[in-house]
Amino acid sequence: MPSVKLTTRVQADDFIRGLAFMGTGGGGRPEAGRENLYPHIDKGEPLGWTDLAELPDDGYACCAFTMGSTAPRPPGFQEGQQWPEYGTRAPGTALPVAVRELEEYTGRRVSVLFPLELGAANTTGPLHCAAELGLKVADGEGCGRAVPEASQITPALAGYTIWPAAISDEWGNILILKRASSLDIAEAIGKAISVISKTPDPHVFCGMACYLMPVAEMKRLIVPGTLSKAYTLGQGIRHARERGQDPVSVAAQLADGWVVFRGIVTKREWQNCKGYQIGTTEITGVGSYSGHRMRIWFKNEHHVSWVDDEPFITSPDLLTVVDAATAEPITNTYLAEGNDVAVVGMAAPPQLRTRAAISVLGPKHFGFDLPYRPIESLVR
């Protein structure tokens, strides 16, 4: 796909919409995506991504992303509240500082960033970072969806370690993770730090720069073309609304997916646990789905589902919940009882359907004694 430059807020909104749709309930808040993109667009600064074929093979690439729970701000939160022990928040600094710290520690200059995942914040963050540092962003990322653990992306599946890694938050805390005993422990360390960073404000960014590798190796490993796919999807949803079409059906078609349920959210239970938002959403069917009930378990993103208590779609395949009238994605930060929603299911990319990928992203990894069954075998 050709390289893309975003020059208007409408284009940015289309991109964020598509990212949130592919983010399967996680990947960060759409508002955070706008915070990442709008300032650069308003100042006319270069902002976009580059087709993999147009990136030179020489040089180094790294993954840049933010960590932590998708949980909302608590009731009674006051914007601008002071936390003396934390200091003054510096929005937008987490990822640029992390990348520069990784360069300083390793002695290698980064020329290309690739996102960890598709998500409103975690894909736009690298774009913001690249604009700040004069770098390029690859049209591709680590999984073709959003995932809760950095060990679940394609470089990790190929044997790359997340370390060395640089961690930085918007309070000015900076750490270098030289090594860890395993990817799971590295993930736990990063999440633990994000819990500290987000204690005063869940919207604060805690960033990590890691998976440093030659650009040629990055091009081989990541899922290609996914940023362009998300942008096209977001545009298509907007165009469907403008034409008076059913945007949910159009979105499912553009995403090569299926509308698998429609209903009202009747129950939401969740907790903030060790850097993750974990819980269950229950949807009572309407229309042709009347008399049926869908239940979705999430760990930041949606991972396991049941219809009428029978196992249904699971990770690594994708489930996204959208507004039934507009197809606007609703992330787990904001999904609430009473929402009138539709659920769209999509097949995971081939890179996430290997035995190794299913072992870290399938239902058994999340503690459910269920086999992974490809979505196409369930909806057809």
Return the CATH number at 369: 2.40.390.10
236: in domain: no
CA angle in degrees (0–180, nearest 5) for 65-68-72: 120
Instruction: Answer yes or no: do 171 and 277 share one domain.
Output: no
219/264 same-domain check: no
Question: Cβ contacts of residue 380 below 8 Å, gap of 6+?
Answer: none
pLDDT band for 57, please (50, 70, 90 cuts): very high
* One domain for residues 46 and 181: yes
Closest CA to 24 of 378, 346, 350: 346
Residue 235 lies in a domain: no
Q: How confident is the model at residue 380 (pLDDT cuts 50, 70, 90)?
A: confident
Burial 164-183 (b: 16+ CB within 10 A, else e): bbbbbbbbebebebeebeeb
Task: State mean pLDDT over 81-93.
Answer: 89
Average pLDDT score, the chain: 96
Query: What's the rounded mean pLDDT across residues 175-182?
Result: 96
Give the domain-ending residue among 174, 191, 224: 224
Q: How many residues does the chain have?
A: 380
**pLDDT value of residue 213:** 98
What distance in Å separates the CA atoms of residue 99 and residue 67, rounded to the nearest whole number? 15
pLDDT band at 77 (very low <50, low <70, confident <90, very high): confident
Q: Are 315 and 362 in contact (CB under 8 A)?
A: yes
Same domain, 203 and 278: no
Type of residue at 356: A
Residue 76 lies in a domain: no
Question: 134 in a domain, yes or no?
Answer: yes
pTM given for the model:
0.95
| Predicted pLDDT at 154 | 96
Instruction: Residue 36: give its domain's CATH number.
Output: 3.40.1610.10
Residue range 233-275, pLDDT digits in tens: 999 999 999 999 999 999 999 999 999 999 999 999 999 888 8
Average the pLDDT over 213-238 and give the result.
Answer: 98
With cut-offs at 50, 70 and 90, classify the pLDDT of residue 105.
Answer: very high
Does residue 75 sit within a domain?
no
pLDDT of residue 169: 97
pLDDT for 76: 83
Q: What interhelical angle do 226-242 and 9-22 show, nearest 10?
A: 110
User: What pLDDT, on a 0 to 100 scale, did the predictor assign at position 281?
Assistant: 98
Whether 240 is in a domain gets the answer no
> Are residues 64 and 95 in contact, defined by beta-carbon separation less than 8 angstroms?
yes
Q: What is the pLDDT of residues 312-355, one digit of tens each?
A: 999 999 999 999 999 999 999 999 999 999 999 999 999 999 99
Scan for tokens 């940015």, then name that residue: 12
Pairing of strands 257-273, 223-224: unpaired
Please check the confidence at residue 114 and state whether its pLDDT lies above 70.
yes
Same domain, 190 and 262: no
Domain membership of residue 276 (yes or no) is yes
Cβ count within 10 A of residue 273: 14
Cβ contacts of residue 124 below 8 Å, gap of 6+? 15, 16, 19, 28, 32, 33, 36, 37
Note whether 250 and 216 are same-domain residues: no
- Residue 151 has a pLDDT of 86
Secondary structure (3-state) at 290: coil
Q: Average pLDDT of 212-217?
A: 98
- What is the average pLDDT across 29-51? 96
Positive/negative CA dihedral, 72, 78, 84, 90: positive
**In terms of residue numbers, what domain contains 121?**
4-70+83-224
Confidence of residue 219 (pLDDT cuts 50, 70, 90): very high
Q: What is the pLDDT of residue 41?
A: 97
pLDDT value of position 355: 96
| Domain count across the chain | 2
Residue 239 lies in a domain: no
Residue 1 has pLDDT above 70, yes or no: no
Q: Answer yes or no: do 220 and 280 share one domain.
A: no
DSSP, res 274: T
Task: Kindly state whether residues 219 and 320 are assigned to the same domain.
Answer: no
**Residue pLDDT, tens place only, 270-319:** 998 888 999 999 999 999 999 999 999 999 999 999 999 999 999 999 99
Same-domain status, 329 and 369: yes
- As a whole number, mean pLDDT of residues 86-110 equals 96
Nearest to 319 by CA among 278, 240, 238, 260: 260
Same domain, 357 and 328: yes
In the chain, the DSSP E strands lie at 4-5, 48-49, 60-66, 110-115, 136-137, 140-141, 165-169, 174-177, 206-214, 223-224, 257-273, 276-285, 293-299, 301-307, 310-314, 318-323, 340-346
